[in-house]
Structure 1
Amino acid sequence: MTTRPITDPFVLHACELLSCLGPVKAVRMFGGYGLSVDGMNVAIIAWDTLFLKTNADTAPRWLAVGARPFRYEAKGKTMSLQYHTPPEEALESPALMAPWARLALEAAVAARKPAPRRKPASRA
């Protein structure tokens, strides 16, 4: 099975914006796109909006600049994923996006790390 090349101008622009991280792969998913670098998801595009990967450690930096979290409705509930919009000016050039792209990669790397191993329970 062959996949069709991505031709959406906004998706191509987002890939260029994140290019400081290395080659960016865009994959269609759930009516939007997932963007990955080295097999790690660093961003999603939904409703023609770019959202970058965040986590509990990095989210405060995003919120401090007015980033919007990724939220969607499912079964009558508002759900969210750990992705936020970058600042508007970051959408203008790869140089302006670079610090936010690196922050997204930091969150993706942290998500990839295996959970710490638990010590076996001691038998009394």
Structure 2
Amino acid sequence: MDAAAIEEMFQGLGPVTIKRMFGGKGIYHMGSIVALEVRGEMLLKADEQNAPEFAAAGATQWAYEGKKGNPVKMPYWSIPEDAYDDPDVMAKWVRLAYQASLRAG
């Protein structure tokens, strides 16, 4: 995903900074990381407070295979499908990601 597409996705939150990391990209708003792009998939930050809302919307939590073959769950979730067609819905999810980022410190 190019920078213009990412900026459009996050327009409901405000300006973002995009940094390369882990073979993907980190998306920051006001100095806090709110999302990762990993292998072409955008993942939004969530925490124990709002992860249930992501799960209820059909999002999936990102995990990678650890050294012993066990999945290691990360605090990033896929974006619910309906958000891609509606900027207002996307704005809701990116704001939730920013709130989780603020709570994480």
TM-score (norm 2): 0.90
The reply on whether 1:14 has 2:32 as its aligned counterpart is no
For the residue of structure 2 that corresponds to 1:109, the secondary structure is: helix
Deviation at 1:80, TM superposition (A): 1.5
- Give distance in 2, aligned partners of 1:83 and 1:39: 17
Give the alignment partner of residue 36 of structure 1, picking from 28, 33, 52.
28
- Give distance in 2, aligned partners of 1:14 and 1:94: 13
Alignment of 1:63-74 (within 5 A): 63-74=55-66
- Tell which has more relative contact order, 1 or 2 (C-alpha 8 A, sep 6+): 2
Structure 1: gaps (5+ residues) = 1-7, 113-124
The reply on whether 1:92 has 2:92 as its aligned counterpart is no
Partner amino acid for 2:98? L
The reply on whether 1:53 has 2:53 as its aligned counterpart is no
Partner amino acid for 2:12? C
Structure 2: gaps (5+ residues) = none
Identity %: 37
Aligned to 1:122: none
Deviation at 1:93, TM superposition (A): 4.3
8 Å contact from structure 1 (residues 53, 84) kept in 2: yes
Give the alignment partner of residue 18 of structure 2, picking from 15, 26, 50.
26
- Give distance in 1, aligned partners of 2:6 and 2:89: 12
Deviation at 1:97, TM superposition (A): 0.3
Deviation at 1:78, TM superposition (A): 1.3
8 Å contact from structure 1 (residues 91, 97) kept in 2: yes
The reply on whether 1:83 has 2:95 as its aligned counterpart is no
Q: How many residues are paired up?
A: 104
For the residue of structure 1 that corresponds to 2:12, the secondary structure is: helix
Task: Please report the RMSD computed on the Cα atoms of aligned residues, expressed in angstroms.
Answer: 1.4
